[in-house]
Amino acid sequence: MCLRRVVPLFSLYFALVTAAGAHQATGFKLTEPTASGITVWTRITRDAERAADDRPLPITQIFDRTTGEALRLRDNAAYPNGRPVITFPAGADLGSIRGAAVGAPGQTRVRYRRVGQTEWLSTAWRDVEPTRDFTTTFALSALTPATRYEIIVEDRASADAAPTSMTTGGFVTAPDVKADAGATFCVMSCQQYEDRDRPDGFAIYPAMLALRPDFFVNTGDAVYYDHGPVHALTLALARYHWARMYSFTTLRDFHRQVGSFFIKDDHDTLTDDSHPGARTGNFTFADGLRTFREQTAPSEPSYRTVRWGRHVEVWLLEGRDDRSTREHDRTQTPTILGVEQIAWLERTLAASDATFRIVITPTPMVGPDRASKDDNYSNTGYAVEGSKIRELLARYKNLTVITGDRHWQYVSRDAVTGIEEWSVGAATNAHAGGWDEKTPRPAHRFLRTGFGGFLSGEVRPSDKGVRLSLRLHDTAGTVVFSADNLSPR
């Protein structure tokens, strides 16, 4: 194979974007919807579509910085002392390798209106930010609660150029906090690029979209930096992971029509079970935190609540930012949520008057989990804090925990506190695994392994009361398990 000389990826990345063009190969995302606002994440790309799947991949190598020894790339591995070397085949570069959608300079704006109106509101044109992967965000405010909006995102190469791309979409705002309103939502986790089940992405996205959810939660592992032939050993390759994933048609179509909340976990922060202070190659844990914010536009702090009318409040927990370091864990009680987040959780749970409290966590609180793992509250290493958190949650009736991270679907109940936890499972059948369905534990109300899927929830008020229905689906959307909780008025 004829190979090019090695070029520093950071320099190469900016050299690639000088060509004219302002496109939206990675679409746009609608994040953090509330009763009066939403954030619109946009990114300009050089090309109108992602690079084809028949394009070559770069050769990714890692060498020990001390000895110079070549190290073998392994899934779920980290290389804290590794020196990455990325080599491109002849005729290929970072903008033309398989699935690439490299960013480009230009301007973007958002136009929006309530469905049924004739006049559009518009933001000003804004330059995208080259240092943030050619992204920018727009915070739309003063919106009407419980209302569906249409939206158009336009791009142009410069202030004196005509628009060259336009993408349409829509979203719904949350009802007022006192509104006797319902809600429909979807939750998913663990989507690995190499395990996708459609040429254009993942089957669960059109399956979820068919349910017309008011909002969506991704609990983490939106990308897997530490899997496949191209590990994210540099910032440029981390951004490549996001671009190739979110340039798939199924993801673009979903995210332009549904307001979303993103939670990060280990693989979309750095590597498997990663902690603050870690690194792999030239990519650090701190780089991972910044890149996640850059690509998903979450609100700050990253632990937050979502109020959807009178009956629904959702807690989105943060499992990486405040986690203790490996060094800390050797001498002190390990923590996942940290002191400030635990205090916030206790305070906000007590203050809530929602009919149903739904806690969504990137990693399990109940499990059970495999004995070989030590990364979540169902593992022995976090038993002390895990017991404290489960006891806190058990104080409140009509509280349910939904978790990602585990690659099998289950519903379990903690024997001590009675807390119930729903695991949404992996995004595809190919990515499912980790447990044997033939060996359920007493905690399991439901157990399904070897198959991917997602969770949907529906809250509906009626004369008899307010009903919360939770459902686990397969990747095509078929319900495989469901349960209802009716709260009388």
Domain identity same for 113 and 144 = yes
Domain identity same for 158 and 205 = no
**Which string of DSSP letters, residue by residue, matches 75-99?**
TT---TTEEEEEEPBTT--TTTSTT
CA distance 179 to 151: 25
Q: Is residue 227 part of a domain?
A: no
Domain identity same for 108 and 213 = no
For residue 326, the model assigns a pLDDT of: 83
Domain identity same for 469 and 327 = yes
Domain identity same for 370 and 460 = yes
Residue 350 burial class via C-beta count within 10 angstroms: exposed 0-12, middle 13-18, buried 19 and up: exposed
Domain identity same for 156 and 116 = yes
For the segment 90-126, what is each residue's pLDDT rounded down to a tens digit?
989 999 999 999 999 999 999 999 999 999 999 999 9
- Indicate the length of the chain as a whole number: 489
Q: How many domains is the chain built from? A: 2
**Distances 47 to 50, 184, 188 between C-alpha atoms, Å:** 7, 35, 29
Domain identity same for 371 and 446 = yes
CATH number at residue 359: 3.60.21.70
Q: Is residue 225 part of a domain?
A: no
Domain identity same for 184 and 111 = no
Q: Which of 171, 186, 207 is the last residue of a domain?
A: 171
Q: Is residue 414 part of a domain?
A: yes
Q: Is residue 147 part of a domain?
A: yes
For residue 13, the model assigns a pLDDT of: 44
Contact (Cβ atoms closer than 8 angstroms) between residue 72 and residue 61: no
Contact (Cβ atoms closer than 8 angstroms) between residue 363 and residue 323: no
Of 416, 481, 45, 84, the closest CA to residue 279 belongs to 84
Q: Is residue 383 part of a domain?
A: yes
Q: Is residue 183 part of a domain?
A: yes
Domain identity same for 205 and 310 = yes
For residue 3, the model assigns a pLDDT of: 40
Mean pLDDT by 10 residues, the chain (489 residues): 41 44 95 98 97 96 98 97 96 95 98 97 98 98 98 97 96 98 98 98 98 98 98 98 98 98 98 97 98 97 97 98 89 95 98 98 97 94 97 97 98 98 98 93 96 98 96 98 93
Domain identity same for 38 and 132 = yes
Domain identity same for 178 and 51 = no
Name every residue whose Cβ is closer than 8 Å to that of residue 28 and which is 6 or more positions away in sequence. 40, 41, 42, 43, 153, 167, 169, 255, 256
Q: Which of 138, 154, 171 is the last residue of a domain?
A: 171
Q: Is residue 64 part of a domain?
A: no
Q: Is residue 265 part of a domain?
A: no
Q: Which domain holds residue 474?
A: 174-220+298-487
CB neighbourhood size of 221 (10 A): 28
Domain identity same for 114 and 208 = no
For residue 20, the model assigns a pLDDT of: 56
